Amino acid sequence: MTRGLPIAFLGLIGLLFVQCGPSASGTKTNWFRECDGDADCGEELSCTCGTCTLPCTADAECEEGRCSTELESSVQCGMATAERICVSADVSTCSEFTLEADTELGDAIAPSCDQSGALVCESFDRPFPAEYSTWLDEAMSAAIQDCEVFAGDGALHYESTAAGQSQTRIRLPAPVSSGPLHARFFVRLPAATVLPEQLQLLELWETDGTSVPGRVAVFLGADGVPRVYVGASDTTLSPSSAEPLARDTWACLELVLDVQADSGSASLSVDGAEVLSGSGFSTQPAEPISVVVVEGQPTTDTVGVALYLDELVVATDPIGCE
């Protein structure tokens, strides 16, 4: 019996330790609970955008759930600059951040990708920065979403509910007055997409304005065949074999432009294979090329236009599809 007393006493101490330890005062049992303020979340969590959670940069920093992408947290918080937060691992719905019209084009942003000669790197993994300029008709919806992507956390999605168009302009950090210029992006056309007479996908401009006579454009015809227009010489290049882009699959398009006053050239490759080219004409606008434009812009009033764009790179060196 004399040896039983210390054991009982130690058992009591252990029970008190369990009751008074972290599990009693808050082991983050409020994870992902809806909240109005930090007081609803206990001592170790904070109320962020209506949810009890913590900021993070990687999954390992989340005791529960996983670390969100910037797109997911931006959607939850309803703002383009939201920091990443821990979210429930059970969340499997698509995130979609709707673009708003903003017609003021800001300064250029330094490219962030590991591409030789890069001027613009846009992965569409997060809402657009304030420096971009988006022109948007009410009839055309435009969003960064993660339901359908080629790579990374997001892709750009255009869809028309009536006749409408959307266009986002990005300033180049170094205008190109002559020499090689490459622009690569991925596009996906859903099977139900109705193509207008022309559907503009990407353009290179010499200015940000309402009149851009020297623009270079990559577009699809009503037949789904990609073409290139060069405004400096009013030249349209078409493939020798009219092969439309496949539906419901991602295609890699790379425009190659040699900017010259008299002996310029332009070509377009699809999935690494050249489909059209031309040379011996002017590809040089009156001013240096300084703006790249991504868009869902039909030239005729067409309902049912839908497409996805992803992984845009503009560079002075070849890019490729990898």
Domain ranges of the chain: 4-87, 96-315
Q: How wide is the angle at C-alpha 200 spanned by C-alphas 283 and 139, nearest 5°?
A: 150
**pLDDT band at 27, cuts 50/70/90?**
low
For residue 17, the surrounding DSSP H or E stretch is helix 4-20
Helix (H, G, I), strand (E, B) or coil at 13: helix
For residue 238, the surrounding DSSP H or E stretch is none
Helix (H, G, I), strand (E, B) or coil at 77: helix
**pLDDT band at 137, cuts 50/70/90?**
confident
If one counts every other C-beta atom within 10 angstroms of the C-beta of residue 203, the result is 23
Q: Which fold has domain 96-315?
A: Jelly Rolls (2.60.120)
Torsion from C-alpha of 252, 135, 194, 192, nearest 10 degrees: 70
The three state secondary structure string of 139-195 is: CEEEEEECCCCCCCCCEEEEEECCCCCEEEEEEEEEEECCEEEEEEEEEEECCCCCC
Q: Which pTM does this prediction carry?
A: 0.88
In this structure, what token pair is assigned to residue 309? 């764009």
Percent of the chain with pLDDT over 70: 91
